[in-house]
């Protein structure tokens, strides 16, 4: 015959006097050592509790990428339009017009100076060598060849400088003339410019249209070198992927750029000092927007 131990008069009816689970397990406790009452598994979570096990501080779990991933042509793209880029470009130009006008003016003076110098030198070399009785060189001129090379280098130099100006402006930097030529990988700029020119020229030889398509697809190549630090090959791929993400708007952007520059040239040439910087700023804005980068202003 089994005997039952007497109930402890100080223990409430039905409660384990030793504070333990009747099966030998300790009941769950809070950080202060107090027992946690059991909850109904079908009840709604109390206020302040996280119902799905998410991080209460809003941080991403360890091992997941932080921040916004750059666009690679396969991810959903945020809404962007060419008119957005030109609107932003006008605001950025107004805030940095002095540096941008000076940069454009210097580019025009150097390009024009090289062209005039090559023409003058061309006549001098023809007279010196006396290649034919008419004083013409028959299509070959050392002076014109040197002039073309110098013009190409000047164009490359200022294309990269304007790209740097646009990238800095999208990040909210106040433009300074000296900053536009520093921290640029000039070797990669030269290589990507050379590759872009060669690919475009080959396309033009192949019935023109392929060259136009190539020029559109590679319009962000220099910006990828200057703004993203890509090498020449990676920059070409980046540009193609970005254009493929919004081809219609990129084509509209380039058409608007042509119209703006043409209008600037028609305005006695003075408008070019405004039109050209605005188009380069618009391209920088489009490049950053298509990559999903934050843009100031």
pLDDT along the chain (297 residues), means of 10: 50 50 59 63 49 42 38 51 97 97 96 87 57 48 86 96 98 96 96 97 93 97 97 98 97 97 90 97 98 94
Which pTM does this prediction carry? 0.70
Q: What does the pLDDT read at residue 25? A: 57
Determine the longest span between alpha carbons in the chain, in angstroms.
Answer: 140
Residues, the chain: 297
b/e for 105-139, b at 16 or more Cβ within 10 A?
Answer: eebeebeeebeeebeebbeebbeeeeeeeeeebee
The pLDDT assigned to 140 comes to 56
Residue 183 half-sphere exposure, CB side, CA atoms within 13 Å? Answer: 12
User: Where does residue 94 rank: exposed (0-12), middle (13-18), buried (19+ CB within 10 A)?
Assistant: exposed
What pLDDT, on a 0 to 100 scale, did the predictor assign at position 269? 82
**What is the tens place of the pLDDT at every residue in 210-222?**
999 999 999 999 9
Give the model's pLDDT for residue 117: 85
- In angstroms, rounded to a whole number, what is the distance separating the alpha carbons of residues 261 and 277? 9
* pLDDT number for residue 195: 97
**End-to-end alpha-carbon separation of the chain, Å?**
89
């Amino acid at each position: 015959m089994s005997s039952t131990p007497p109930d402890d008069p100080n223990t409430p009816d039905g409660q384990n006097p030793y504070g333990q689970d009747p099966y030998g397990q300790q009941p769950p406790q809070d950080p202060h050592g107090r027992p946690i009452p059991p909850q109904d598994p079908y009840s709604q979570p109390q206020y302040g509790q996280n119902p799905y096990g998410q991080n209460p501080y809003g941080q991403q779990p360890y091992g997941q990428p932080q921040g916004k991933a750059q666009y690679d042509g396969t991810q959903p793209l945020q809404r962007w339009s060419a008119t957005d880029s030109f609107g932003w470009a006008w605001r950025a130009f107004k805030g940095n017009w002095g540096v941008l006008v000076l940069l454009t003016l210097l580019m025009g003076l150097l390009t024009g100076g090289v062209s005039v110098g090559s023409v003058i030198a061309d006549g001098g070399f023809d007279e010196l060598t006396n290649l034919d009785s008419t004083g013409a060189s028959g299509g070959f001129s050392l002076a014109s060849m040197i002039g073309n090379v110098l013009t190409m280098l000047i164009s490359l130099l200022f294309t990269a400088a304007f790209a740097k100006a646009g990238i800095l402006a999208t990040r909210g930097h106040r433009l300074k003339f000296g900053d536009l030529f520093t921290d640029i990988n000039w070797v990669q700029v030269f290589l990507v410019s050379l590759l872009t020119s060669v690919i475009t020229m080959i396309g033009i030889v192949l019935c023109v249209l392929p060259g136009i398509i190539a020029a559109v697809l590679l319009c962000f190549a220099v910006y990828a070198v200057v703004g993203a630090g890509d090498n020449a090959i990676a920059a070409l791929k980046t540009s193609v992927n970005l254009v493929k993400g919004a081809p219609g708007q990129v084509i509209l952007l380039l058409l608007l750029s042509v119209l703006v520059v043409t209008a600037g040239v028609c305005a006695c040439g003075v408008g070019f000092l405004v039109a050209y910087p605005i188009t380069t700023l618009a391209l920088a804005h489009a490049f950053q927007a298509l990559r999903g980068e934050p843009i100031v202003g």
